[in-house]
């Protein structure tokens, strides 16, 4: 059965089919109560394990609600409850879970744990986030851009800040969805050069610009993320803030983007740090549409994995 581990592992046609399905399901729910079941109970009789080594709000709620809306059941497990890779090997955990559930979604730190789980599981595995990538987020982001502005192919996407796991998935997306991508951030926090090189080799247009104002010029989409992630050491906070301050997204920076540019942030936002309130709550911001679309995009991913 197919896994959903990273965007660059899937052909563009499959990714487009997933987004088309997500849009259809979202449209079909218009005006219905949040807890109402979909007309098509695609996951009836299915059990999905949601494994969290990292804390979560949007990932946990969106996957849990999505499975329930499609008639399935969820089993939510924390890393402490499972002792993943500590009390039991990841491989054995994968084999055991595969006997009880129909699919595993995991949000973890180490990408190697995701790979090992997927290798040994006999049911599909979805990457809910690792320190390397966050593919479900970018599927929701592309969906959000396209429902507001049409096809993202040929558009200019600018990332301001840290070259982190979310940027990595944006780089994967550039190779599959055909947008150009500019990284605007300090050299000390550059994205993984291997990922950038691989995606360029696959035809992605990815540039690096140290000056945020030049980077954002004419952008169709401006994206940022929190400056201090949950896996960053607390003692690095001051240093990271100093490095990233020139890349704060404020009204002056957004004014350099295209007149109809959108602003995204995967949340949670530290208001006044990576972006100002005026931008987060401004007319270009689609951050809460973006958050909602995690639900719809992931429902489509679940169905794609299970072939239903």
pLDDT tens, residue by residue, 230-253: 566 666 889 999 999 999 999 999
Can you give the pLDDT at residue 229?
A: 73
Question: What is the C-alpha separation between 146 and 143, in angstroms, rounded?
Answer: 5
Question: How confident is the model over 34-54, as a mean pLDDT?
Answer: 95
CB atoms closer than 10 angstroms to residue 25: 22
Question: How confident is the model over 55-83, as a mean pLDDT?
Answer: 92
Can you give the pLDDT at residue 232?
A: 63
Can you give the pLDDT at residue 139?
A: 99
Q: Catalytic residues, which ones?
A: 107, 134, 137, 225, 266, 294
Can you give the pLDDT at residue 82?
A: 74
Gyration radius from the chain CA atoms: 19
Nearest to 143 by CA among 287, 290, 241: 290
- Is the per-residue pLDDT at 85 higher than 90? no
């Amino acid at each position: 059965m197919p896994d959903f581990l990273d965007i660059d592992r899937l052909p563009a046609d499959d990714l487009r089919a997933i987004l088309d399905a997500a849009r259809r399901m979202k449209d079909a729910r218009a005006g219905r109560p949040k807890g109402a079941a979909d007309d098509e109970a695609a996951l009836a009789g299915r059990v999905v394990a949601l494994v969290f080594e990292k804390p979560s709000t949007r990932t946990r709620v969106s996957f849990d609600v999505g499975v329930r809306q499609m008639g399935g059941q969820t089993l939510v497990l924390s890393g402490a409850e499972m002792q993943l890779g500590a009390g039991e090997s990841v491989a054995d955990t994968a084999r055991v879970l595969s006997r009880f559930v129909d699919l595993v979604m995991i949000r973890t730190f180490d990408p190697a744990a995701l790979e090992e789980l997927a290798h040994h599981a006999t049911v599909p595995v979805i990457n809910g986030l690792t320190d390397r990538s966050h593919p479900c987020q970018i599927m929701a982001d592309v969906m959000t851009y396209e429902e507001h502005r049409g096809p993202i192919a040929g558009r200019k996407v600018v990332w301001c800040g840290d070259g982190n796991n979310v940027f990595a998935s944006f780089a994967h997306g550039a190779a599959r969805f055909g947008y150009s991508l500019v990284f605007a951030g300090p050299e000390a926090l550059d994205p993984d050069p291997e990922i950038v090189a691989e995606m360029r080799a696959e035809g992605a247009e990815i540039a690096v610009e140290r000056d945020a104002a030049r980077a954002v010029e004419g952008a169709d989409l401006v994206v940022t993320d929190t400056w201090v992630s949950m896996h960053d050491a607390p003692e690095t906070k001051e240093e990271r803030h100093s490095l990233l301050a020139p890349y704060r997204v404020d009204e002056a920076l957004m004014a350099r983007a295209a007149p109809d540019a959108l602003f995204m942030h995967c949340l949670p936002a530290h208001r006044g740090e990576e972006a100002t309130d005026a931008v987060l709550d401004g007319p270009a911001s689609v951050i809460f549409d973006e958050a909602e679309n995690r639900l719809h995009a992931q429902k489509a991913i679940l169905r794609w994995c299970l072939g239903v």
